[in-house]
DNA sequence: GCTCACATGTAATAAGTTACATGATTTC
DNA sequence: GAAATCATGTAACTTATTACATGTGAGC
């Protein structure tokens, strides 16, 4: 129940449409540790409505599609705080890059070199995005989490640049089959 | 398709049972960036078998339950390398801790203090586990990813210890409602 | 006698992804 | 004229979680 909690989170500091919530999830101050697409947000909001945790009103601006502007109810606020307090605080991290690194001998040195390059570039982009975001954001809570993100990306970048040659050397080692292939 | 790839990964350097694969996912050298439970491993292996990517044989040791020992086929090996090369290498990170940090004003200073304590303790445990694992492991690829893990956990710990008072101060700030509650 | 480790699996359920379906307006 | 942005939603599918179901043997 993550999208649900995230919707309540966003709505707890202001009205928003489903479209906007998704945008925040993808570009905004939560994007480095949250994930949500239309296919989970719209049904999520609909469900929250049936539970009485959010309401909405229609808003028509000339020349734009009609929007459903959601806002949180008192019950929604209570539920959100309750979930913040009760949900076990555990992070979820799944890395296909580390799996690839682990099996770098199977894909070869050239391939892994390219992937490291791509990853370094990607982290640099993320860092720039975070630093830009940092300028735009005013809430102190946001700043703290953005700084956390910056610290982690920086550490990741540092590890990669100082240890890439080591991984490339591993990729050159012969593959160890421990059993005969069937 | 993550459990699937993980099963192929494990089997690509030796035979294993479903039980063992899960153990590796939970305690072994992949546990810091992978997640898999029985409910996904057993059906996953069954599916891989129908695709001809793995086979198994029965093994009965006196006094122990009969085990199904899986091994990868040539087709499985090819498929694994193909997936390593083709799957976009993107990490997945979702943090309920950072969401909580973001909304620390709603749960109060005492609560957030306890959570920071818990998190610091948790990271220290993780670091110890990784360092222990480092002693046991011999593959160079494993070592590299474990060191990555250690670098990241260390950075996380450092950020937390140097910035915890800042977050606690934020938790003391009054909550900003941007709209009237419904 | 109890709990832990070994060992395999299923069923109900939850959750989310991707692609589809639709359509207006603005900007290049 | 094309592409991007705004805007809402559904449907089929994939994937994984949790709990259940079952059983042995070893060590305390």
Question: Chain A contacts of B179, Cβ < 8 Å?
Answer: 14-15, 71
What does the block give as tokens for B95? 């943090």
Residue of A64 and A162 predicted with greater confidence = A162
Distance B131 CA to D12 C1' (A): 45
- Residues ≥6 apart with Cβ < 8 Å to B86: none
The model's pTM: 0.92
Average pLDDT over residues B21-49: 94
pLDDT band at A182 (very low <50, low <70, confident <90, very high): very low
Average pLDDT over residues B38-46: 96
Residue B152 near chain A (CB below 8 Å): yes
Residue B167 near chain A (CB below 8 Å): yes
Question: Chain B contacts of A182, Cβ < 8 Å?
Answer: 55, 71-74
Q: Is A36 left (phi over 0), alpha (psi -120 to 50) or beta?
A: beta
Q: Is the pLDDT of residue A146 over 60?
A: yes
Spell out the alpha helix ranges (H) of B71-173.
74-86, 96-102, 104-107, 109-136, 140-172
For an interface test with B, give the residue of A49, A74, A93 to mutate (most B CBs within 10 A).
A93
The mean pLDDT of chain A is: 92
For an interface test with B, give the residue of A145, A147, A161, A169 to mutate (most B CBs within 10 A).
A145
Q: Is the pLDDT of residue B111 over 90?
A: yes
Q: How far is A15 from chain B, CA to nearest CA, in Å?
A: 8
Asked if B13's CB is within 8 angstroms of A94's CB, the reply is: no
Which residues, listed in sequence order, are joined to residue B72 by a DSSP beta bridge? B54
Contact A48, A1 (CB under 8 A): no
Residue of B162 and A182 predicted with greater confidence = B162
Residue of B99 and A177 predicted with greater confidence = B99
- The pLDDT of residue B182: 29
Average pLDDT over residues B41-54: 95
For residue A6, what is the nearest residue in chain B, using CA coordinates? Answer: B99
Q: How far apart are CA B22 and CA B26, in angstroms?
A: 6
Average pLDDT over residues B140-153: 97
- The pLDDT of residue B180: 36
List phi, psi (to 5°) of A181.
-70, 145
- The pLDDT of residue A178: 53
Average pLDDT over residues A140-168: 97
């Amino acid at each position: 129940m993550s999208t649900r909690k995230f919707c309540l989170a966003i709505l707890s500091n202001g009205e928003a449409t489903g479209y906007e919530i998704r945008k925040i999830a993808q570009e905004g101050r939560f994007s480095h540790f949250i994930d949500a697409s239309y296919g989970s947000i719209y049904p999520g909001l609909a469900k929250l409505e049936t539970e009485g945790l959010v309401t909405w009103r229609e808003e028509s601006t000339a020349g734009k599609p009609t929007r459903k502007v959601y806002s949180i109810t008192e019950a929604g606020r209570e539920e959100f705080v309750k979930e913040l307090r009760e949900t076990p605080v555990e992070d979820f991290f799944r890395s296909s890059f580390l799996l690839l690194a682990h099996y770098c001998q199977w894909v070869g040195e050239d391939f892994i070199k390219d992937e490291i390059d791509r990853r370094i570039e990607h982290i640099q982009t993320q860092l720039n995005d975070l630093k830009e975001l940092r300028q735009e954001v005013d809430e102190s809570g946001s700043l703290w989490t953005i700084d956390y993100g910056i610290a982690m990306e920086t550490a990741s970048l540092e590890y990669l640049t100082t240890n890439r040659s080591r991984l490339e050397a591993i990729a050159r080692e012969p593959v160890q089959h421990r059993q005969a292939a069937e």
